[in-house]
Structure 1
Amino acid sequence: MKNFFTLLFVSVLGGALTLGIYKVAFENETFPLENQSNQPKFVTANYTPSSPNNIDDVSFIEAANKTVHAVVHVKNLTLSQGPSSLFDFFYGNSRQPRAQVGTGSGVIISPDGYIVTNNHVIENSTKLQVTLNNNKSYTAQLIGTDPETDIALLKIDAAEDLPYLAFGDSDQIQLGEWVLAVGNPFNLTSTVTAGIISAKARDLNSRDNNIQSFIQTDAAVNPGNSGGALVNTRGDLIGINTAITSQTGSYIGYSFAVPSNIAKKVVDDIMEFGNVQMGSLGVRIQDLSTGQGLASGIEESEGLLVGEVFKKSGAAKAGVKPGDIIVKIDHIKIRKFSDLVGYLRSKRPNDKVQLHLLRDGETINRTVELLSNSAYVYTIEEIGISVQEQTEASKDRFKGQDGVLIFDTNNYNSRLGLEGKLLVGINDDKIKSIEDVKSAVARAQRSGVMTLVFINQNGERERLIYRN
């Protein structure tokens, strides 16, 4: 019993001491939400508020009302001839076409009914139906498409002028700028979501010959939003919502839009020429961080290194040289491939651009006339391989070997890694020039077999056989 009272006394005493220490040391301590010291620990930047002065002043009402009437619901009817059941798959009992309906969005861009949407929204369609915000439906005509930029142009005929959106200048958008995404996700018509510009010139493709240049935003975009409008708070069309990156297939925090300057240029080309006109500088570009040899000793961390300059190109005529670093094109600062490609996609052959280059530590300017790739590139259409005359750099790399360079390939051949290799023979014909390629291809067409002989970057010979 004596031990019990002793233990009880010690416990009470310990608790009292603990409570006393807490009262003295902690109870009067305050935890400020802000540092109210007269001597702040961090340097604050001078801030001049722009209009609107306060986030509470931001209103999306006008932009939303303006946009929602110009965004349409696009339904794509396709016919599938695949098996409708596992039994049909194994026994082939049913090959009757079955109708399937896909949905997406589109944006009216003229009062007479031209509509821009995504190519993947209308791909393989047999019939297209467009429903306006007032529930009127029309059959749409497909005017043209550009799968590379994922843009398509439709046309509907209405009895009255239609509400439409004007193209804004996507080159002028700023990080953090408020935007609205308007479309028809999950068949929920006339849906408006808000967010900000999260990034510009975002590339989602790992292939160097198909660089993309998207606007990234955190405005919620889901399946069905594709082809819809991305607008600023004035209601100007600055992008066509196109893609999301998600493990679930639904929005998880960011989405991507084709910049309006690219979409407008594609639409203009389709309406004027029937296809997309691409203007090219005529250079092969290397990233500063990976450019081997030429990049050694270069201290610049931003910009693009000119690896090769193609003969007869606008860059060659303007005096651009291998080893130059492109730091700016017109008013666009160049930090990565997609900055350059995104701007060039808004240009066409015969346009002139101002290149700001670093050469031997000095800044120089060169005016380059953009040319079509066909001015210095020949495409073997039958096999989807494009070639061009050798550059001085490639002659050094291949030790003076005759041949033509593989400039580009189609999607099928891209997996073979042919770009940059030297084509030296087709069947029994030796290749020294583009004219040799044209003649050899004509002879190979008659035989039905085309054997290409390459030299790779290691000086090794390779063969590739194509049959009709």
Structure 2
Amino acid sequence: MDMTENLRPSGAHPTDQDRTSYAYGNAAYDGSTAYDGVAGGYPPPPPYAPTNNHRRAKRPVALLAAVALAAAVVGGGTATLVGQLNNGSAQATGFTGTVQGTTVSQSSKGTVSGVAEAVSPAIVEIGAASSAGKSTGSGVVITEDGEIVTNNHVISGAQQIEVTLSTGKTYTADVVGTDPDKDLALIKLRGASGLKTAALGDSSQVKVGDQVVAIGSPEGLTGTVTSGIISALDRDVTVAKDDSGSSDQGQGQGGGGQQWPFEFGGQQFNGDTGEKTTTYKALQTDASLNPGNSGGALINMDGEIIGINSAMYAPSSSAAGSGSSAGSVGLGFAIPVNTLKADLDTLRAGNNS
């Protein structure tokens, strides 16, 4: 049947309804004008384009679901990816499988082994020789060319400093700056490049009960890893302040059983801190710390440095009766990393407080 055929029944007459004008194309149709080539005077229906909105609407949803499913299979990142897509962000393409600022893989995140594997290469052993003997401590590499943070009492009065990396390679180091008031020091390796560095975290975010990992060189055992929790915050710890090297605090970190003298709660531990002392706010941890851990790292489970280990309590052995060390009893202290970050410019300037 011709689509333009007049479908009005034979003999039918127009109704008495008012004629209404309709816009059609570029002319107005009032119901009485006959169109060329059209029987009956009625215009042909307008050519409507076929629509497929229902089918098209489903395709982006299906695509989003497929992408989210693929992200879940590869790296468990569905929630992050969908959230970024909903916000119109394209940052999801930058995901590399590591926690930003560290090298702890997603599969190992939150494990002691994962933290140890990622951060151990940035922890070094420091040997400091002076007229009083040789001390052993630890340090944290913070730049690829060999800037290392440690405790002031580790290198205090040292005439020569030798640093051993986790690989066994050794370097000679020079003192860049010290801050005895905070028991911090910065040294620099000679001729180093391309070193593995540690990421500095935010100690203001640390909470009591957080899991932590300690890495250092207790008794010269390089790269020793222990773990525990944060036991308390803002402990007032007092340690010896001595740039001349006349005290034993910095000289007993190797063998011989001597400890880090410090004061806490009005009492002295591990010996006499001397007349020159300094007090700082410290993180308390039950992670095992022993002589040689001084200057090493206290690390959160994302692999970020949150403190520099500085003091621990080790009661003397009653069996020996000679004041020899009985080892760690889970009472250790670390200088918050935010204290270090605030002091870095001063240390790099070579200022010795």
**Given the two structures, how large is their TM-score scaled by the length of structure 2?**
0.54
C-alpha contact (below 8 Å) 2:217/2:293 kept by paired residues: yes
2:328 equivalent in structure 1: 251
1:66 equivalent in structure 2: 118
Change (3 A) 1:141 1:159: closer
2:150 to 80, 93, 117: 117
Whether 1:149 and 2:226 are equivalent positions in the alignment is: no
Query: Alpha-carbon deviations, 1:420-464, whole Å to 9, x = none?
Result: xxxxxxxxxxxxxxxxxxxxxxxxxxxxxxxxxxxxxxxxxxxxx
SS in 1 for 2:199: coil
Change (3 A) 1:57 1:130: closer
Change (3 A) 1:130 1:148: same
SS in 2 for 1:213: strand
Taking only the aligned residue pairs, the percentage that are identical comes to 43
2:341 equivalent in structure 1: 264
The residue type equivalent to 2:128 in the other structure is: N
Distance 1:107 1:57 in 2: 21
Distance 2:342 2:335 in 1: 11
Query: Alpha-carbon deviations, 1:191-227, whole Å to 9, x = none?
Result: 00000000010013468x9542000000000000000
SS in 2 for 1:121: helix
Whether 1:241 and 2:309 are equivalent positions in the alignment is: yes
Query: Larger relative contact order (C-alpha < 8 A, sep ≥ 6)?
Result: 2
The Cα RMSD (Å) is: 2.0
* Correspondence list, 1:314-333, <5 A: none
Distance 2:226 2:177 in 1: 29
How many Å apart are 1:234 and its aligned residue? 0.9
1:168 to 197, 201, 210: 201
The residue type equivalent to 2:283 in the other structure is: I
C-alpha contact (below 8 Å) 2:146/2:193 kept by paired residues: no
Change (3 A) 1:140 1:210: closer
Change (3 A) 1:157 1:245: same
C-alpha contact (below 8 Å) 2:177/2:349 kept by paired residues: no
Distance 2:301 2:110 in 1: 8
2:218 to 170, 179, 185: 185
* Correspondence list, 1:158-307, <5 A: 158-205=191-238, 210-248=278-316, 249=325, 250-272=327-349, 274-275=351-352
Distance 1:184 1:175 in 2: 25
Change (3 A) 1:235 1:210: same
1:101 to 124, 134, 156: 134
SS in 2 for 1:200: strand
Change (3 A) 1:160 1:144: closer
Distance 2:181 2:158 in 1: 18
Distance 1:102 1:222 in 2: 13
Distance 1:153 1:266 in 2: 10
1:466 equivalent in structure 2: none
C-alpha contact (below 8 Å) 2:146/2:192 kept by paired residues: no
Query: Alpha-carbon deviations, 1:404-432, whole Å to 9, x = none?
Result: xxxxxxxxxxxxxxxxxxxxxxxxxxxxx
SS in 2 for 1:203: strand
1:137 to 142, 167, 170: 170
Q: Which structure has the bigger radius of gyration?
A: 2
2:128 equivalent in structure 1: 76
Distance 2:298 2:198 in 1: 11
SS in 1 for 2:204: helix
Query: Alpha-carbon deviations, 1:316-335, whole Å to 9, x = none?
Result: xxxxxxxxxxxxxxxxxxxx
SS in 1 for 2:207: coil
The residue type equivalent to 1:262 in the other structure is: T
Structure 1 unaligned spans of 5+ = 1-55, 81-99, 277-468
C-alpha contact (below 8 Å) 2:109/2:115 kept by paired residues: no
Distance 2:135 2:308 in 1: 18
Distance 2:164 2:143 in 1: 16
Distance 2:350 2:233 in 1: 29
Distance 2:310 2:135 in 1: 15
How many Å apart are 1:57 and its aligned residue? 8.8
The alignment of Structure 1 onto Structure 2 pairs a total of residues equal to 201
The residue type equivalent to 2:332 in the other structure is: S
Distance 2:192 2:332 in 1: 36
Distance 1:171 1:191 in 2: 26
Structure 2 unaligned spans of 5+ = 1-107, 239-264, 267-276, 317-324
Distance 2:109 2:183 in 1: 36
Distance 1:129 1:113 in 2: 13
Distance 1:128 1:204 in 2: 27
2:87 equivalent in structure 1: none
